[in-house]
C-alpha cells in the first residue's frame, strides 16, 4: 500500500468508521498490515497517537477525534473536486439496484435523494423486503442492512455512527402495567417480537456497568417490519425494541414512552454492502463515496452531541432529585 498523504487520510477515516483495522482494510481492499502501517506512518509524521489500541478494541484518542472532525470535511471537498475533474471520462450513469428493508430505506432516503441530485444520469431501483437475500444471485448491485446481518464476504460501508435502540410502549399500556426497571422485568411484560431476515427471533440487547443481558421477550405478536411494530406498540399491544431514529417522532409526540433508557448501549447501525470485486460500477463507487462523506458528517455531529450530553444529564438528574 503506497502511503501517500491522501491514502493515509483515507486509512484513518476508514478505521474511525469501523473501529476495526480488519474491517477498514476490507473496505479499502488492502491488507490489515498495510493499513496499520499507513496509519502508523501518519501518526509518526505528526507525532500524535490517533487511536487507542487494545487486543480487543480500537477507539479514537482525543487528538484523533479532533483530527477526524477536521480532516473529514476537507477530504470530502477533495473527493468532490476529483469526481468533478474525472467526470469528463467516467461520469456515473445507468441504474443501481439496491435491496434493503423498509426501515433502512427510510433512513437512507436523504442520501439517495442527494445522490440523484448530484448525478442526474443515474437511476436508483430500491427494492424493500424483510428477508435477507443473496444480492449477487438476485441481481442487485448492493444491499443496505444492519451491520450484524451483512455477510462476511461483502465489503461493508457504515452509514454513520453507532445507533442506540429503545424499548417503548404506549401510555395506555403503561396505565395497566408497571414500567420495567431492569431487563429481567420484561418477563412480566408482553413483548412484540422481531423476526430477523435469517428467520431467527432477535434477542433484545442490554448493557449497563459492564453487565450484558440478552432477553428473548415473550409475546403473542411477532413481526419483521419496524413500521408494523410501531403500529402495534401505539395500539398498546406490548413493548417493542426499535432504533432511536425509528421512535424519535413518537417519543416527541408522547404517543410512545421510553423505558430502560440506561440499559440500551450503542450498537452497530446500517451498512451499505456489495461484493468485493475490483471494478465496481462508477455509479456504485460514487454512491459509496457519498455515503462515506455523509457518515463522517453524522459521526462528527454525534460526537458533538455526546460532549454536550453529560452536562444535560447531570442537570436533569439534579432536577429530578429536587422534585423528590
Mean pLDDT within 182-211: 90
Distance of alpha carbon 65 from alpha carbon 58, whole angstroms: 12
> Which segment of 30-39, 274-283, 289-298 scores lowest on mean pLDDT?
274-283
Q: Which of 3-7, 170-174, 223-227, 291-295 has the largest mean confidence?
A: 170-174
Pure H helices in the chain: 5-18, 21-28, 32-46, 62-90, 102-118, 171-176, 226-234, 244-253, 282-323
| Cell 422481531, located at residue | 194
120's grid cell: 442526474
Residue written as grid cell 403503561: 174
Beta bridge partner(s), residue 5: none
What integer pLDDT is reported at residue 26 of this predicted model? Answer: 85
Set of cell numbers at residue 251: 417519543
Q: What angle do CA 59, 287, 120 make, to 5 degrees?
A: 150
pLDDT at 90 over 90: no
CA distance 8 to 41: 8
The neighbour count for residue 105, using CB atoms within 10 Å, is 16
Q: Which of 157-171, 245-259, 308-322 has the weakest average pLDDT? A: 308-322
Q: Please tell me what DSSP assigns to residue 143.
A: E
**Average pLDDT over all residues of the chain:** 85
Locate 163 and state its grid cell.
Answer: 445507533
Three cell numbers written together for 25: 482494510
pLDDT of residue 170: 97
Percentage of the chain lying above the pLDDT 90 cut: 40
Structural domains of the chain, with CATH: 1-90 (1.10.10.10), 91-161+268-324 (3.40.190.10), 163-265 (3.40.190.290)
pLDDT band at 129 (very low <50, low <70, confident <90, very high): confident
Considering Cα of 149, then 203, then 258, then 268, what sign does the dihedral take?
negative
- Per the structure block, which three cell numbers stand in for 228? 408494523
* 320 pLDDT tier (thresholds 50, 70, 90): very low
Q: Is pLDDT above 90 for 144? A: yes
Structure confidence by residue, pLDDT tens digits, 240-265: 999 888 898 999 999 999 999 999 98
Q: Assess contact for 166 and 267: CB atoms under 8 A.
A: no
Reported confidence tier of residue 319, pLDDT bands at 50, 70, 90: very low
pLDDT value, residue 199 = 80
pLDDT at 308 over 70: no
Residues whose CB is less than 8 angstroms from the CB of residue 179 and which lie 6 or more positions away in sequence, other chains included = 169, 257, 259
Task: Choose among 28, 243, 271: nearest CA to 150.
Answer: 271
Closest residue by Cα to residue 107 from 256, 221, 246: 246
How much is the average pLDDT of 59-82?
85
Beta-carbon-side half-sphere exposure of residue 20 (alpha carbons within 13 Å): 12
Q: Tell the residue number behind the cell numbers 463522517, with chain if given.
A: 296
Amino acid at each position: 500500500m503506497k502511503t501517500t498523504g491522501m491514502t493515509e487520510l483515507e486509512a484513518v477515516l476508514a478505521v474511525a468508521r469501523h473501529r476495526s483495522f480488519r474491517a477498514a482494510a476490507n473496505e479499502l481492499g488492502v491488507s490489515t498490515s498495510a493499513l496499520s502501517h499507513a496509519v502508523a506512518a501518519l501518526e509518526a509524521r505528526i507525532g500524535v497517537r490517533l487511536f487507542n489500541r487494545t487486543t480487543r478494541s480500537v477507539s479514537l484518542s482525543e487528538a484523533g477525534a479532533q483530527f477526524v472532525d477536521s480532516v473529514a470535511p476537507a477530504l470530502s471537498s477533495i473527493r468532490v473536486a476529483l469526481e468533478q475533474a474525472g467526470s469528463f471520462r467516467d461520469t456515473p450513469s445507468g441504474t443501481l439496484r439496491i435491496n434493503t428493508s423498509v426501515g433502512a430505506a427510510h433512513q437512507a432516503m436523504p442520501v439517495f435523494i442527494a445522490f440523484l441530485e448530484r448525478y442526474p444520469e443515474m437511476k436508483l431501483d430500491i427494492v424493500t423486503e424483510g428477508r435477507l437475500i443473496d444480492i449477487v444471485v438476485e441481481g442487485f448491485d448492493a444491499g443496505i442492512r444492519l451491520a450484524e446481518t451483512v455477510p462476511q464476504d461483502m465489503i461493508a460501508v457504515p452509514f454513520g455512527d453507532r445507533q442506540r435502540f429503545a424499548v417503548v410502549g404506549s401510555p395506555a399500556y403503561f396505565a395497566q402495567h408497571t414500567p420495567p426497571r431492569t431487563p429481567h422485568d420484561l418477563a412480566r411484560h408482553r413483548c412484540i417480537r422481531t423476526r430477523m431476515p435469517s428467520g431467527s427471533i432477535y434477542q433484545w440487547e442490554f448493557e449497563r456497568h459492564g453487565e450484558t443481558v440478552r432477553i428473548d421477550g415473550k409475546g403473542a405478536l411477532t413481526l419483521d417490519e419496524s413500521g408494523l411494530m410501531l403500529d402495534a406498540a401505539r395500539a398498546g399491544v406490548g413493548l417493542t425494541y426499535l432504533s432511536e431514529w425509528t421512535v424519535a417522532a413518537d417519543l416527541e409526540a408522547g404517543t410512545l414512552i421510553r423505558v430502560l433508557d440506561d440499559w440500551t448501549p450503542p450498537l452497530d447501525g446500517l451498512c451499505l454492502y456489495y461484493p468485493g470485486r475490483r471494478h465496481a460500477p462508477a455509479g456504485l463507487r460514487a454512491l459509496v463515496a457519498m455515503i462515506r462523506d455523509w457518515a463522517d458528517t453524522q459521526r462528527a455531529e454525534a460526537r458533538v452531541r455526546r460532549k454536550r450530553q453529560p452536562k444535560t444529564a447531570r442537570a436533569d438528574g439534579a432536577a429530578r432529585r429536587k422534585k423528590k
